[in-house]
Structure formats: structure tokens, C-alpha cells
Amino acid sequence: MTPTVTDLLNGCILTLATPPRPEDAGLFAGARIRLVAMMNRLVALECTDGVAVRVWENAALRALIAAAGPKHGIPASELDETTDGDYSLSKLDAANAKLRRLLIRLHEAAELSGDIELDHQILKLYREIARRRELYLPPMKPMA
């Protein structure tokens, strides 16, 4: 399961709204608050450029699949069900999941057929996708 922004924020709300038990005081309570702060930071980073990253990624996946798919048994008509909809994160993620399944099929077909050039293109795309989705957390001091 990949939690959504809403799932993460709801978890933070529940954590903050639930009073700690007396035995959870001290370092545990401090660590709990730090975890909530870190989750909020990750959500903020995701919201900052999450849509732009997914729009780029979906377009790159569509372009590669449209160009190489038909040669490897994936008709371009399969891309018809991968529209980005209203550009909400949920619609973009749904399209992205379908596109990734198609990319996996394409990658398997490329490997089976010995298409080294396509294999390298796909691996390069995987690296770029990972680079664009990276989130950076600031260093945190250990609890004393």
C-alpha cells in the first residue's frame, strides 16, 4: 500500500489528537512528535511538486510505450485508458499505475527479444523517475 497525502495527514492528526499515556512520557513522547513533524515535512515536499513530477512521468511513459510498444506486442490503444483526468494526485497516480504495468510488460518483451537499446532506454527512464521523485529531509539532531 502506498499511503496518500490524506492518509499521512490523517495519521498525523490521530497521533497528535490522542493523549499520550503516562508511561509514554519523556523520550517516547518527543520521538512521537518528531515523527509527526517528519511526516508533515514529507507531505509538504510531495505537495510542492508531486503533480508536476507525475505529469512529466506519465507523459514520458506514454511516449516511450507509444513509440516502442507496438513493436513488442503492446498496441497504442492500451494507452487510451491512461488519461490524467483532472490532474488530481489520485487521478495521476491511477494513470501512473496503469502506465507502469504497461512499461513492465514492455521491459519484459524487450529483454525477451534481446532489444538492448530499448532495455537501456527503459533503465535510463527508471533512473530519471527515481531522481525526480526523491524527497530530501533535513538532518535531525538525536534526542537527548
What are the domain boundaries of the chain?
Answer: 5-133
Q: Which residues are CB-neighbours of 35 under 8 A, at least 6 positions away?
A: 15
Neighbours of 134 (CB within 10 A): 8
Residue 72 is given by DSSP the state: G
What is the pLDDT, as a whole number, of residue 143? 60
Look up residue 10 and give its three cell numbers. 490523517
142 has pLDDT over 60: yes
123 or 35: which leads in pLDDT: 123
List the end-to-end C-alpha distance of the chain, in Å, as a whole number: 34
Mean residue pLDDT of the chain comes to: 91
Look up residue 84 and give its three cell numbers. 490524467
Write the pLDDT tens digit of every residue in 68-121: 999 999 999 999 999 999 999 889 999 999 999 999 999 999 999 999 999 999
| Entry field: residues in the chain | 144
Rounded to whole angstroms, the Cα distance separating 2 from 8 reads 10
* Residue 141: pLDDT band with limits 50, 70, 90: low
Rounded to whole angstroms, the Cα distance separating 29 from 63 reads 49
